[in-house]
């Protein structure tokens, strides 16, 4: 298996190169040129393994130039002692058919940990093979959760520097504090005056600027990405969908014939894309349900075939989904067009120039067969947190609530009540104010007070990582205009310009 670029498939690289580099030079994203197809025997064997065993099996199918020892080293390092109870992705049952895949038991309380605990291992292993000893500079744009998870994964990792940009008014107070208090000697955090799309576009631009690349090379450095444009982010996410299927299979063999739906609260389209890849590899996923907040550009696209980012941007209580340019959709377009790189390059050029593109014919048809899409506003989000706590005694964060609301819309419209796996992407304590307001009228102005009240009201535990923030020292307070991101990069890397 090799990796090709979605905008030019004549570019062909190994897994190590794809991960070390992060993005293809012309701006395309790396994807495998073929996908493994798992058989019934594979799944039966995987069913008997623990999470690490399943991860090793899946990853070794994709990391063509990693040795078995290297894959073992990466998986063991990432998933030993880092998640509660050694279970990175446990499932809770709610009601009859709803399985909540809890992806927030890692060090930063969001699903990003599943990928960002292992990415530093993958990236440093890859860099040794292809970077010739140069220092890897990880640039991250974040809507809140990626930044903290990447900082936590990369802190003090040898031969790396990590720089995180977040929108100053686009993250929750807890997310901001998590990043501004980050420890480590190789970490840098900068807030920008703009939204997430500004941060993401800024990072992409710096990445693909040849003059900047040269400047780094002169200083013995190379850029890489910890955003989900990096293939090394996606492949660990495929693992938990395969693992969830194995758990369902262990519970009841009938799932094989009946299949199940998956619902994912979606922003950059990375998490739901991983679910699609799992389906492509043989997991019997029926519908992929794409849930958005008021920034519902994906809902419109999936329903109409027209992607249009020329619309108002809303700041919501689900900040990790406040996105109008979903970068991983590019990989899906490549899939839908049967790997038509020219088609993808044309659509992306339209998006860059006009903020819009349209698909029709077979591509649109396939999109509609695979996906169902819906959205909900903040009011419905809060009502859903309250409903699930009231009806089932199960507390969810706001992002997970968006997924559940959209799932209920799907259920109502289609009557398809087969088993559903809901990706639960964050701990309720990360978005504590909104969650507390949903279940009580006791919210106050202090986030840590709110956490204590939430714990009392709901009889749930405050994660230790959140508690520790109350007394953590604030280390970063850099605030820049969005056109000063490159200046920040140079300053933090101590490169003269």
Ligand X SMILES: *Cc1c(COP(=O)(O)O)cnc(C)c1O
Task: Point out which span in 61-69, 267-275, 335-343, 488-496 binds ligand X (CB under 6 A).
Answer: 267-275
Task: Point out which span in 32-40, 72-80, 268-276, 467-475 binds ligand X (CB under 6 A).
Answer: 268-276
The least distance separating ligand X from the CB of residue 327, rounded to whole angstroms, comes to 9
Q: Which is nearer to ligand X, 178 or 488 (CB)?
A: 178
Angle 270-280/329-336 helices, nearest 10 degrees? Answer: 30
Q: Largest Cα–Cα distance in the chain?
A: 63
The least distance separating ligand X from the CB of residue 70, rounded to whole angstroms, comes to 26
**Per CB under 6 A, does 420 bind ligand X?**
no
Q: State CA 479 to chain mean position distance.
A: 25
Angle 40-47/231-251 helices, nearest 10 degrees? Answer: 80
Task: Point out which span in 182-190, 203-211, 264-272, 472-480 binds ligand X (CB under 6 A).
Answer: 264-272
Interface with ligand X: number of residues (CB under 6 A): 16
Q: How far is CA 23 from CA 67, 113, 206, 213, 451, in A?
A: 23, 21, 12, 13, 39
Handedness of CA 111, 204, 120, 20 (dihedral sign): positive
Task: Point out which span in 113-121, 206-214, 262-270, 358-366 binds ligand X (CB under 6 A).
Answer: 262-270
Which of 151, 213, 139, 209 has the alpha carbon at shortest distance from 177?
151
The DSSP letter of residue 106 is S
Which position has the token pair 């989904």?
321
Distance spanning both ends of the chain, measured CA to CA: 40
The least distance separating ligand X from the CB of residue 143, rounded to whole angstroms, comes to 7
Task: Give me the 86-115 binding string for ligand X, x by CB under 6 A, dash otherwise.
Answer: ------------------------x-x---
The least distance separating ligand X from the CB of residue 240, rounded to whole angstroms, comes to 12
Q: How far is CA 494 from CA 161, 219, 221, 409, in A?
A: 11, 10, 12, 52
Q: Which is nearer to ligand X, 24 or 292 (CB)?
A: 292
The least distance separating ligand X from the CB of residue 274, rounded to whole angstroms, comes to 8
Angle 231-251/119-130 helices, nearest 10 degrees? Answer: 130
Query: Using CB under 6 A, which of 125, 200, 228, 337 touches ligand X?
Result: 228
**Beta strand pairing status for 3-5 and 356-358?**
unpaired
Q: Which is nearer to ligand X, 225 or 268 (CB)?
A: 268
Q: Which is nearer to ligand X, 70 or 102 (CB)?
A: 102
How is residue 426 written in tokens? 């964050």
**Site residues (CB under 6 A) for ligand X, limited to 281-340:** 320-321
Distance CA 479, CA 459 (A): 38
Extract long-range pairs of 334-338: CB within 8 Å, 24+ residues apart.
334/6, 334/31, 335/276, 335/280, 336/363, 336/366, 336/367, 337/363
**Per CB under 6 A, does 378 bind ligand X?**
no
Query: Using CB under 6 A, which of 27, 107, 153, 270 touches ligand X?
Result: 270
Q: Which is nearer to ligand X, 120 or 270 (CB)?
A: 270
**Per CB under 6 A, does 435 bind ligand X?**
no
**Per CB under 6 A, does 70 bind ligand X?**
no
Task: Give me the 334-373 binding string for ligand X, x by CB under 6 A, dash otherwise.
Answer: ----------------------------------------
**Residue 256 contacts by C-beta under 8 Å, 6 or more apart in sequence?**
40, 249, 284
Task: Point out which span in 56-64, 176-184, 189-197, 261-269 binds ligand X (CB under 6 A).
Answer: 261-269
The least distance separating ligand X from the CB of residue 462, rounded to whole angstroms, comes to 18
**Per CB under 6 A, does 145 bind ligand X?**
yes
Based on C-alpha coordinates, what's the Rg of the chain? Answer: 21
How is residue 372 written in tokens? 């169902």
Handedness of CA 255, 260, 398, 438 (dihedral sign): negative
**Beta strand pairing status for 356-358 and 306-308?**
antiparallel
Q: Please check whether residue 403 is in contact with residue 374, taking contact to mean a CB–CB distance below 8 angstroms.
A: no
Q: Which is nearer to ligand X, 212 or 234 (CB)?
A: 234
Q: Which is nearer to ligand X, 283 or 332 (CB)?
A: 332
**Per CB under 6 A, does 426 bind ligand X?**
yes
Q: How far is CA 311 from CA 169, 196, 292, in A?
A: 19, 15, 15
480 phi, psi to nearest 5 deg? -130, 160
According to DSSP, the residues that pair with 12 across neighbouring strands are 4
Q: Which is nearer to ligand X, 153 or 222 (CB)?
A: 153
**Per CB under 6 A, does 399 bind ligand X?**
yes
Q: Which is nearer to ligand X, 145 or 197 (CB)?
A: 145
Q: How far is CA 11 from CA 7, 28, 106, 234, in A?
A: 9, 10, 36, 20
The least distance separating ligand X from the CB of residue 297, rounded to whole angstroms, comes to 12
Q: Which is nearer to ligand X, 262 or 321 (CB)?
A: 321
Residues in the chain: 497
Query: Using CB under 6 A, which of 24, 227, 271, 488 touches ligand X?
Result: 271
Distance CA 480, CA 163 (A): 13
Query: Using CB under 6 A, which of 28, 265, 428, 463 touches ligand X?
Result: 265
The least distance separating ligand X from the CB of residue 144, rounded to whole angstroms, comes to 7
Residues binding ligand X (CB under 6 A): 110, 112, 145, 228, 265-271, 320-321, 399, 425-426
């Amino acid at each position: 298996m090799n990796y090709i670029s979605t905008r030019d498939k004549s570019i062909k690289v190994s897994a190590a190169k794809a991960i070390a580099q992060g993005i293809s030079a012309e701006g395309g994203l790396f994807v495998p040129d073929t996908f493994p197809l798992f058989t019934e025997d594979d799944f039966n064997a995987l069913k008997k393994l623990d999470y690490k065993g399943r991860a090793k099996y899946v990853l070794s199918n994709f990391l063509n130039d990693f040795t078995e020892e290297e894959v073992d080293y990466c998986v063991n390092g990432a998933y030993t002692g880092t998640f509660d109870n050694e279970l990175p992705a446990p499932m809770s049952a709610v009601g009859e058919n709803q399985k909540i895949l809890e992806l927030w038991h890692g060090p930063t309380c969001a699903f990003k940990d599943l990928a960002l605990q292992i990415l530093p291992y993958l990236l440093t292993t890859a860099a040794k093979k292809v970077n010739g000893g140069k220092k890897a500079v990880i640039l991250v744009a974040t809507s809140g959760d990626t930044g903290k998870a990447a900082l936590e994964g990369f802190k003090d990792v040898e031969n790396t520097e990590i720089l995180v940009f977040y929108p100053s008014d686009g993250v929750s107070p807890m997310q901001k504090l998590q990043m501004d208090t980050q420890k480590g000697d190789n970490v840098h955090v900068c807030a920008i005056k703009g939204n997430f799309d500004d941060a993401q576009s800024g990072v992409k631009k710096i990445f693909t600027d040849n003059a900047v690349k040269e400047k780094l090379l002169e200083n013995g450095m190379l850029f890489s990405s910890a955003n989900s444009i990096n293939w090394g982010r996606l492949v660990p996410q495929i693992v938990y969908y395969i693992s969830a299927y194995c758990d369902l299979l262990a519970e009841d063999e009938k799932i094989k014939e009946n299949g199940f739906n998956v619902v994912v609260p979606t922003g950059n389209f990375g998490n739901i894309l991983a679910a699609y890849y799992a389906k492509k590899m043989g997991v019997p996923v029926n519908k992929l349900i794409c849930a958005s907040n008021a920034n519902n550009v994906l809902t419109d696209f999936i329903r109409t075939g027209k992607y249009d980012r020329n619309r108002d941007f809303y700041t919501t209580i689900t900040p990790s989904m406040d996105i109008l340019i979903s970068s991983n959709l590019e990989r899906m377009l490549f899939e839908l067009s049967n790997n038509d790189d020219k088609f993808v390059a044309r659509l992306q050029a339209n998006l860059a120039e006009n903020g819009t593109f349209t698909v029709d014919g077979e591509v649109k048809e396939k999109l509609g067969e695979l996906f169902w899409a819906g959205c909900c506003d903040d009011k419905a989000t809060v009502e859903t947190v309250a409903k699930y706590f009231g009806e089932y005694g199960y507390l969810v964060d706001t992002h997970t609530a968006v997924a559940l609301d959209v799932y209920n819309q799907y259920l109502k419209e289609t009557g398809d009540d087969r088993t559903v796996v809901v990706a639960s992407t964050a701990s309720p304590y990360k978005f504590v104010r909104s969650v507390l307001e949903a279940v009580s009228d006791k919210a106050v102005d202090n986030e840590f007070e709110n956490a204590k009240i939430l714990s009392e009201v709901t009889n749930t535990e405050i994660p230790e990582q959140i508690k520790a923030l109350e007394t953590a020292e604030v280390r970063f307070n850099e605030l820049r205009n969005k056109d000063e991101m490159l200046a920040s990069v140079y300053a933090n890397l101590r490169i003269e310009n």
